[in-house]
Structure 1
């Protein structure tokens, strides 16, 4: 038995919204058997835009039963039937959620007439209920009401059956067919074409704009996991409704997928990516010459228009490094802004400041040691490659760290030899970097030292 369902609601997602009308038509695959239809008192005010769309206002539902009163009937009608609806996950999420609140468990097999229509009537201009019905000559006299839309879905379902759709339905109902859990606008074929390899994947909206970027060790498996639950919150429901297509970029390793994801989120700024958007190196070590000619080292928050000597995620990390340079190269803590206030220079008292802060050491002499300190810092930063498997047997992947910074990554011929950075740069794509990306690379190099090759 098929239960063909349509509901009207106070909003677009089940969490924090409620049902205002429900219609269920039981259908045996040949004809309608019986139907159930009622307004529902939602317990919250119906927004004006919803009233304008459906024609259902607060006065109309004031004397209607609450959902808890009709829940036993709804559950009885649905529990042993295949749940059919146009964009089935929307209707199912509401009824599943509200039945659960009333103590009833709904675990029905589902059929989406949007997906069925795509398979049985390929090439239609649109598969929204109004447009596909118009395309097939089905009238909807009571549009945006549960009864009217349920009637239209019944007629659409019957046309699908008449056009030879029974075999498609049987295929979609086999086991727990994953297609029933996919976003309504996403063709199942795109998921099937995804590789089971490391890489980055992109979700696109109706206009082709990237709305989410993710990384994976197994692209197909990770993409499928996004659709394995039907959470009722606004963010998840909007996210699923806006996915129209998927593209991907394979990488040789999971580490490269992590790095490429960071780059792509920063480049594309997708609306549904949040965790990595906020990550930036927070502090930088900068140098400038003051009006007395002395070179100054200073820790500051990152400045887009200035190039730092080095960057740090944490201020404490930068302070520890700067103090180390001050001690090793006899720099002045006051000129490096480590000591603030009017007190006398602690470096003079402890014997490592040579008096630049009081003008007793010349700028030329002091600046030479600042240059030495910067040179030593840069020299101490490592240069190395991480070489790993490629996207296929004829290549190997390569990540290049040059003087402590990510230069780029790419793919070399499997038999390529690496002696210094110049041997491989033509094979690599340069990428912007940050502390997070460097941290991933250093951690991987420490865990897998056999993949690391230090460069001169």
Structure 2
């Protein structure tokens, strides 16, 4: 199955482009079986020359969905598909960058119709999409628009499939890393590993832990470690003698255990993972007129933050989302630097806090709700997630805004007493990394059950 796509962008500096339009056709090798086409609000201005080329301007995109709003659909339509694009290195990079800004790792195999065309249809005057399909008699309408270019790529790819009689070139062009042969020792370690979610520990001959990792499928992750050709992987493959693991059931618990145990054990090959996983934080302040303002800036451990983000783009995405969710003012959220009212006030989506039309007391109620829902803010609560077995659930305890530890309880046992909770919890260290992991996970996993605790007086 193939996902044949084309993406139009804002232009600009490398890896700072935003998507303005995307078209994806799911193709089974014979027919198109699904499709997705949409303009996208890139949350940044379009370069003038790009607007002239595509005909897409900033005004057209004002009410278009933002990338995070269509990300789930893109994941669905491309799952178990090979990405096909004309100059796929560009389109695939743009998609991976956008998903990375949301904290999601987007990985697919890919094929490039430029490379395939050069091998299967040699001696063409040009391999740009427009000139190539014109020379092959393939109709192309709406050039430099995602839908027109994607449809033309579908027709071009169908032609390439018929020309690839031996099916060798397509197989060889799929962008997957070459897997080297795994020796018997590594095969045994992979075979003995579970497919469960959890934390795994690689040991050398004297039992010392040389690497700690987490995965939703430990067996699959070990297979990646033991077939990679990079320098670190080769060293691990040479030194590892045994692998132990702990099933956590919950990915969140696996993330927390991995972070804690890397800090405690300081494994030889986990140097990169010891670094802080975030560099941006959300802070609040009250202005001279009594309104709560929010500001994203570089994380500073000396200040109390509401929450943290992996990067600026992820922070900006959530700030836009929270502005809409809590009906907050773009100016007070730090998203509009204009001198007068914010844009949302113009379209009646802001109550006028930016020009003092809405009383600070009323506005601050919604701002405080964002703070309460997003931060720990001296709260006592438990976060309930899946357990290791079907009749078990995992629990994370937060007391007075600090992460206390993790544990498990049986589904038939009602957890509502903090003393019972403390007895089943394995204590863990509260630090900025743990807080970031919990807050980031809760933001992106809405299915989690969060229970506020009432302490006995």
**Which has the higher Rg, Structure 1 or Structure 2?**
1
Q: Is the TM-score greater than 0.5?
A: no
Q: Which TM-score band (shorter chain)?
A: 0.3 to 0.5
TM-score normalised by L of structure 1: 0.41
